[in-house]
A and B are shown apart, each in its own frame.
Chain A
Amino acid sequence: MSGFRLPQGGRIDRTRPLAFRYGGRSYAGFAGDTLASALIANGVSVVGRSFKYHRPRGIFAAGPEEPNAIVQLGARPNLKATQVALVDGLEAGPVNCWPGAGFDVGAAAGLLKRFLPAGFYYKTFMWPGWRWWEPMIRRAAGLGRVDPEAAMPDGQRRSLHCDVLVVGGGPAGIAAALAAGAEGARVVLVEQDPQLGGALLAADGAVIDAMPADTWLAAAIATLEARPDTRVLRATVAFGVYDHGLVAAVERERIVWKIRARHTVLATGAIERPIAFENDDLPGVMLAGAARTYLLRWAAAAGRRLLLFANNDDAYRTALAWTSRGLPVAAVVDPRRSPDGPLAEELRAAGVPITAGAVVERALGRRGVTGAVIRHATGGRTKAACDVLAVSGGRDPAVNLFVQGGGTLAWDAAVAAFVPAAGGQGMPAGAAAGAFALGRALADGHAAGAAAANVAAGTVPYAEDDVATPLQPTWYSGRDQSRCWVDRASDVTVADVVLAARESYVSVEHYKRYTTSGMSPDQGKSSAVVALALLGAATGRQPADVGTTRFRAPWDPVPLAALIGQDRGPQLRPVLHLPTHDRHAALGAMIEEYGGWMRPAAYPQGAESLDAAVFREAAAVRAGVGLFDASPLGKIEVRGPDAARFLDRMYVQRLSTLKPGRLRYAVAATEHGIVFDDGVVARLAEDRFLVGTTSGGAGRVFDAFEEWLQCEWVDLAVFVTPVTHQWGVVNVAGPEARALIAAAGTDIDLASAAFPHMTFREGTVAGIPARVSRVSFTGELSYEIAVPARRTAALWDALAAAGPMVPFGVEALMTLRIEKGYIHVGADTDGTTYPADCGFADAVARRNDDFVGRRSMRRPDALRGGRLQLVGLLPEAADATLHAGAHVVAAGGGSDGHVSSACRSPAMGRTIALAMVRDGRARMGEAVTVDDLGKTVAARIVAPVFFDPEGTRLR
């Protein structure tokens, strides 16, 4: 509990105090704080527990690389405290500990730590079986919690196009945006922090263009915001680079931006890495840059007395900032023999002792750091007291997006880090390109921005860079490897790295998977390079030869609510509604989705069950007349001099012989010979057809027509137009159909002689221009009346008012067509059914010219015996039931086919079924056993037409 708020300074608004709670306790912070900075300012040192061993952990970093401070914020689990902006009344808490972060029962796991090395679970739990052990392991799983009752957060997806996208609003990114937009190019600058500035937000005494960095920053931001064609997106995390340069970013966790830029500058900065030493996961051990950032940006000191362990000059700034605020610095421990740059001089001048050629071997303390053991070049050891141990092993360019975009990396010995080498869809700049010093970063960013916008170089922002003593690569300085942490988030130690190497997991991908290193919410941002350097050391390889694991999207976890945008609720794959939807709803229809359309399944009356309603409706159609909304039936107009020739090639039945004004039923197959769709085709004129398709098939049939016309038969003069949605269709079916239409008023002569079955007329019905097809899917006298879609309701109303009728739904239609043995493509057929299997063998045989799929129908498997063929099935007992999906039991106990459609038939007074049965057509009259979920029914194979086999009712 040693952190505190400095009395002045920082980029916080002290006039706006905020109250918040963490882990059940009340605290106070200020506007501008993050949850992490406020916790530090309030002296909260233990903020959570580690994933595996439940060790107490404190805040380690100040950005998205934070491995320890994973918090639950209301319904949202696993946020990093460093990324949570403080608001008044915020209520958060640690994850994965009980009862709290301070005392956690799960810490018992830490006692067994020596028996639980990386991959221990692969070596045990095999007896009595994983089934026995898994529930125990599983109880320990996970970090935060999902609240099943929580509301769904808002989310959006938006697109953005620009000339130059700059990712990262630090000095390099700002310089790039300034340069790129100087001549009016459209520039987008995205920054993951709510504030622009990056490292400048925690830079003490930096000078740019001869003015304080803060002044320069304010002027630069003002310039950018004054430009009409520059757009700045703050709190926006660019998380992925996709094909052809698309960058995806998420703003304030709510809006996913899909940004297409001509050029992208990746000024994504660098991430500091630690050096591993014993007990380096103690609260109070933190990255040097983070300690400095908390102090300067938020006026939050992580402790009273600092010990800095660093192998590079830049980290010295942390000690300088510390001492300049009047806080004691115990020592700077530096493995380099003679650190003597200007920063070292400044420190010495400030009276800070620099212990050169030394390392921190071990942090002291139990629940927070109280000191450190320093091992000197001589081998001697001394102790130093401190309550903040800042560590820096150098910095790693944030290359994730660069590599996602196809860039390759090279090991740069000067900074001991992987830096962008070549390729890629984005131009790295500044620290992201290894240019860590401020002056270099500004110049680099400026050059990248100018090049991206292809504008003249202009004036480069200038900052003087100190001459630095080269960094000395240092990865690990403890003795007991099992106490030196590499990946805090996943509880991986140096010993685990060495064990993985010993056990053959020497590929960096194997190592990662074996130890689970880098797989936690921080994604190994601060640990990955340390890990691979240690893996290299354990296997005698240089880091360059070890390589990195593959960088993938997302750079930082992306909220699903934003990713899904508005693809939710009814907008998730929107459905189609009938033009007469309101009429059906008013009639009490039970409306369900059929192939993307919301359609009446049936119209139950009062307390009537669905089955009873279906039975009643089907019976009423046979006895009188019913109305059915058939608008979803697909309708495609096919026109042109070659229309007939084309349709002959698309359908099993020949259509060129159809006479104008007549209709013909036709089945389409795929090139694989499989039943694809069916429908009734009308020939409107010599060169003009109206092709009917199934409701679900309208789109795919149209697509198939276009594909064959555009890709194969480019010589055919045919024009295809989908018109499904232009026409509403009401089907009037039943012996009283003619009377009902006549009563509604029509100028078409409905007499059978004038308008026979399978013909087509145009005229008016109820005063509405209509195309009327005399066609039946019910076996009854039936007319399909198509009118302009917006007049469908008027037609429906006129027909409904013209006389007694019963509205019937899809399920009654199914009952009626099963009684007639009409197939329903997709129910009676599936992706294995040839036309010959379901009753069209003769139609196929009649054709002597080619059509799509014909050749495939002559392959050995299509012609073999033992195919499933369409038959009828009748249960032997009149009161027995058959369900679609039941199987016919084969002699050997396997399946001899299945019931493809079944219903309780009003006409037959019993259950009837259509079935696809092995060699079915040769087995007429045979008794079979049908099994349905263990219940068997005796049934008989019959012809697949149960009602009016002669079709007298159609005529």
Chain B
Amino acid sequence: MPRLAYSAFSLLRQGLNRHRGWPAAWRTPEPKAHYAAIVVGGGGHGLATAYYLARNHGVTDVAVLERGWLGGGNTGRNTTVVRSNYYFPASGALYDLALKLYEGLSRDLNFNIMLSQRGMLMLAHSAHELEFARRTVNAIRRNGIDCTLLDRDQVRRRLPILDMSPDARFPVVGGYRQARAGVARHDAVAWGYARAADARGVDIIQNCEVLGFIFEGGRVVGVETSRGAIRADRVGLAVAGHSGVLAAKAGFRLPITSYALQAFVSEPIKPILHEVVLSSATGVYVSQSDKGELVVGGGLDLHPSYSQRGNLPVVEGVMSGLVGMFPCFANLRMMRSWGGIVDVVHDSSPIIGPAPVPGLYLDCGWGTGGFKAIPAGGTLLAHVMATGEQHPIARPFGLERFRTGALVDEAAASGIAH
């Protein structure tokens, strides 16, 4: 456990002590020359991998190497949605593993990640879309995951401010909802894993950029970094957005293209929206944070990019989609925007498992949905790094699927925008 457990009691005691006794959430160690395992990437996936290596496999001689600051990539730049309403059994198993871990994560990490299972509602705008929604709901239920089909009135009751008029540009005919879906505080996930991993002995090293890989006998045995060479028995990569860049350093290519994904926040308003809502017609989704801001997302920027800076056409498109759903939001203002670099894969499913070179393991390709999968990504990458064997849930997501054609194409099968 961390040096001082977080609790209402410790908060009270520290309050009386003017909060002078709170310890550092994690150490700032110098890198050692060798580790049992190195995880490249100090985002949610990397930190979770380190934590589960220690917790599930007893591998505590672990370093997490982060080029910048913890959680500074997509973990800290998303719309914080968590859900497991996926069509294919393989995806359902993967994302529900994540959601189940999320459900116990605050206590597991002793860090409140503010998981708010307020439900997520996907709108259907035509009879055809409602048929697809029905197919999706039935599939999700067969995967053993909660999901409900809603008719028009049920949607209206949940979202009284939604434009339900029949002459709306995208009239609402129904939708479906996962009650266990919701949002979590994204930074807290990174920080919580970091603090818990550190407490188990993991070295978290920030401002340490991986410049290359050290090979011996064709096998990866360490990394060259901006802070010197660090050797390891095995190396995991969890560097969403830059997976291709690091793969190139290791001498192989990936079926990934990097795109910028933007998100937007309105000024804080009094609570008015209590669900996560997604429109299938526009791909725009929105929730309201516990601070009162609307958090809005939509599609990718229009071309590949490594710039965490978004572009204007997407802003206009997303906002018009939002106002199309909720005309009263036209009186609001966009207060902040940001962009993350995401790994886009043809089938919108992740890549987990051994890399083409021995000693190296991948957790990448999460597209726009990596945040919701953090606990699963960490569990599965830790499993394959510790045991050398793919976890059964990870097996459909290895690189070999691109050769065989056994893609797990959620977008193709369900019409869900990721």
Contacts and interface: CB of A to CB of B under 8 A. Distances in A.
Interface of A: 51, 75-78, 114-115, 117, 120-127, 129-131, 134, 137-139, 141-150, 152-153, 155, 157, 240, 242-243, 246, 248, 258, 404, 482, 495, 499, 502-505, 507, 509-510, 513-514, 516, 519-521, 523, 550, 552-554, 557-561, 563-565, 567-570, 572-573, 592-594, 601, 672-674, 827, 830-832, 856, 859-862, 883-887, 889, 893-895, 898-899, 931-934
B292 A142 contact: yes
Contacts of A564: 316, 319-320, 323, 330
A565 B316 contact: yes
B132 interface: yes
A884 B267 contact: no
B127 A592 contact: yes
Interface in B121-139: 125-128, 131-139
Contacts of A831: 409, 411-413
Given A146-B272, A552-B336, A78 B128 contact: no
Given A122-B6, A130-B106, A147 B137 contact: no
B72 interface: yes
B89 interface: yes
A404 B28 CA distance: 31
28 contacts: A122-B185, A122-B191, A125-B112, A126-B7, A129-B106, A141-B288, A145-B270, A146-B269, A148-B272, A155-B330, A242-B311, A495-B19, A499-B22, A503-B23, A504-B28, A514-B191, A519-B336, A550-B308, A552-B337, A560-B329, A560-B331, A563-B320, A567-B320, A569-B169, A830-B412, A860-B406, A887-B138, A895-B142
A894 to B, nearest CB: 5
Contacts, number: 309
B384 to A, nearest CB: 22
Given A134-B114, A860-B405, 12 more contacts: A117-B19, A124-B6, A124-B112, A126-B7, A126-B110, A143-B292, A504-B28, A561-B331, A564-B316, A564-B320, A594-B128, A887-B142
Contacts of A146: 161, 269-270, 272, 328-329, 331-332
Nearest 7 Cβ contacts at the A-B interface: A831-B412, A142-B292, A885-B134, A859-B405, A567-B320, A885-B135, A557-B333
Interface string B129-162: 0011111111101110000010000000000110
Contacts of B320: 563-565, 567-568, 572
Contact of A482 (B11, B12, B18, B270): B18
Contacts of B401: 861
Interface of B: 6-8, 10-12, 15-16, 18-19, 22-26, 28, 68-72, 76, 89, 106-107, 110-112, 114-117, 125-128, 131-139, 141-143, 149, 160-161, 169-170, 185, 187-188, 191-192, 206, 266-272, 282, 288-292, 308-312, 315-317, 319-324, 327-338, 346, 401, 403-407, 409, 411-413
A672 B405 CA distance: 9
Given A78-B267, A931-B142, A130 B116 contact: yes
Contacts of A240: 312
User: Which of B26, B149, B291 counts the most A-chain CB atoms under 10 A from its CB?
Assistant: B291
User: Which of B8, B26, B137, B320 counts the most A-chain CB atoms under 10 A from its CB?
Assistant: B320
B235 to A, nearest CB: 24
B24 A115 contact: no
A157 B138 contact: no
Contacts of B319: 560, 563-564
A152 B134 contact: no
Contact of A246 (B169, B312, B331, B406): B312
A141 B291 contact: yes
A557 B334 contact: yes
A538 to B, nearest CB: 13
Contacts of B407: 832, 861
Contacts of B11: 115, 120, 123-124
B334 A558 contact: yes
A856 B324 CA distance: 40
A836 B214 CA distance: 47
A832 B412 contact: yes
A513 B187 contact: yes
Contacts of A570: 169
Contacts of A120: 11
Nearest to B195: A504
A138 B24 contact: no
Contact of B316 (A145, A157, A243): A157
Contacts of A155: 330
User: Which of A145, A520, A895 counts the most B-chain CB atoms under 10 A from its CB?
Assistant: A895
A625 to B, nearest CB: 26
B330 to A, nearest CB: 4
A521 B335 contact: yes
